[in-house]
A and B are shown apart, each in its own frame.
Chain A
Amino acid sequence: MEQVNPTRMELIQKRAQIKLAEQGRDLLREKMDALIQEFFRIMGSVSRSREELEGLAEDAYRALVIAQAVDDPVALRSVSFATRKQIVLDIGGKNIMGVPVPLIEKKRFAVPSLERGYSILGVSGRIDETAERFESEIDLIIGLAETETALRRLGHEIQMNRRRVNALEQVLIPELKAQAKYIKITIEEREREDLFRLKKVKKILNRKKRGRSLAGGETAGKV
């Protein structure tokens, strides 16, 4: 055990610390409950979007295979030059119970055939369909990036909180309680020792007093 001064002051301090730690633990537990609730709420939408993404990716890949097979991969590469552009997104942030999570701008990348940058007269519907599927996939991935990041951060925060609660509950509070108990026992022991010592002194003093009074009586008899 950590060296502590077994004083009343220290005991008061330790008791205050225990109270504070218990309050902290309760607060952290409440926060964890709220985080878990939020976590499960987001997880529902993430798993739905994940399933949707898997279906969409499978569709897009299938469309790509057919377009490559019928139109030649070289034709697809050529068309991709015409549609090549950067994806620019604004990313902000918000707080969920003190956990910073990203807020990604919702932008639709799926565009009508006429706005893709190539002539629809020279591009087959298969290629168009492939582009459409992949654009929808990008839309979903961007949405999913926001919720998945939020989910990951919430999960991390829940884990951290659990560790903190466990540290308070399993280590700090028991240690403080043990220290307080030790101080209390030590103080009580000291009090008992003091009492015993006082009784002992009183006894000695009484004995001395009695001895002196006996000696005084003998002298008076002789006189």
Chain B
Amino acid sequence: MDLGYINARVRGMHSRLLGQKDFDVLMIQKDIPSLASELEKTPYKDEIQEASVLYPGLKGIETALRMNLVHTCQKILSLVEGSDAEPLVLIILARWDIHNIKTVLRGKHVHVAPEEIEGALIPAGTLGEPLLREMIKQPDVRGVVDLLATWEVPYARPLTQCFDEYASSRELSVLEYALDRFHYEYAHSLLEGNKEDHEVMRKLLQLEIDSLNLKNALRMNRDKVDTGVAEGYFLPGGEHIPLEKFSALVSAGRIDEIAENLEGTPFAFLAPLVPEAMRTGKFSVLEKELDKYLTKKGSGVFRSDPLGGAVVIGYLWKKQNEVVNIRIIARCKDARISDAELEEELRHV
């Protein structure tokens, strides 16, 4: 399909995203019911009305946000079908596929009730509801892996390869790590062309991998994980955090050593926050800044080539950011967190 038409539709959808003024209005709402009625004046109206019948209060708002995100992703997926932007969208939506596969595997691993597993799924990815329902019906982890292989889902490959290791160790993380690694490998394999869009997406993926490696290196540094062991958790494919830097970050004995290693990377802005995070063990502060940075980069591609496929990617980042921000407002209102602290938690981009 013509990317010009797709981008025009996506721009139309982009114009309906909430602006700063809308967020200000949402933030001054006193409680959940008033927040829900305010959301009824936004493009979330239909989902809010539908979800509030099923679940009142906070759960209703969260369900509505999830429903809206799922509708948006499915709409985008149907829009880009067959176009050059399709692989880019598939990479973005794959994060929900990974979430869904992991959820079913986790549920089957500890024998969770099928209804409970179903309640933890987000069908915003490329795996359709019939496949997800079939996966839930499987009796065990083996059944889920076999089903994915039968349906020729690409994610069956790493799971089949690592299944024997899982069967002998009964460690579910074996399958999860295989799945995470494959996700990035598979994403890179979809971006083998020389198109500008692919380059933009490749850069975004590299940034995402770098930020993941950085977060994990700092976590492992705090937990005093042996460098040899830590290297096993390194995700290849990043740009600014190669294996040597990753190992140096894991083994850094002093805080200024960590800051030194961040110099010259796009993550140098984290250096002033590292001492506090290492002292308190609260990495969420660093993670929040990293997420903000990633979202800024991801949403920024919306303003790239107006006839390129990256516009869709930028929109999806912005949409996800919007959903997260509304959820933060709802959760903070529900937990009676002060407005100042709420503002602090928001991931405005």
| Interface residue ranges, A against B (CB under 8 Å) | 61-63, 65-66, 68-70, 72-75, 77-79, 81-82, 84-85, 112-114, 117-122, 124-126, 128-129, 132
Contacts and interface: CB of A to CB of B under 8 A. Distances in A.
Contacts of B172: 82, 117-118
Contacts of B103: 78, 81
B235 A121 contact: yes
A65 B220 contact: no
B66 A65 contact: no
B212 A121 contact: yes
A66 B335 CA distance: 10
**Chain B: interface size category:** 35 or more
Given A72-B62, A72-B327, A82-B106, A125 B219 contact: yes
A contact patch SS = helix
B10 to A, nearest CB: 23
B contact patch SS = helix
A70 B328 contact: yes
Given A81-B107, A120-B219, A125-B215, A74 B121 contact: yes
Interface of B: 62, 66, 98-99, 102-103, 106-107, 109-110, 112, 116-117, 119-122, 171-173, 176-177, 179-181, 212, 215-216, 219-220, 223, 225, 229, 233, 235, 281-284, 286-287, 291, 324, 327-328, 330-332, 335, 337, 345, 347
Contacts of A122: 98-99, 102, 176, 179-180
Given A65-B332, A81-B106, A121 B180 contact: yes
A124 B181 CA distance: 16
Between A61, A62, A117, the greatest number of chain B beta carbons within 10 A of the residue's beta carbon is seen for A117
B284 A121 contact: no
Contacts of A132: 281
B99 A75 contact: yes
Contact of B327 (A63, A70, A119): A70
A85 B225 CA distance: 24
A74 B176 contact: no
A63 B291 CA distance: 16
Contacts of A69: 324, 327-328, 330-332, 345
Contacts of B229: 114
Nearest to A128: B219
Given A68-B327, A68-B331, A73-B62, 19 more contacts: A65-B332, A66-B331, A69-B328, A70-B328, A72-B62, A72-B122, A72-B327, A74-B121, A75-B122, A81-B112, A82-B173, A118-B173, A119-B180, A121-B176, A121-B233, A122-B102, A129-B281, A129-B282, A129-B284
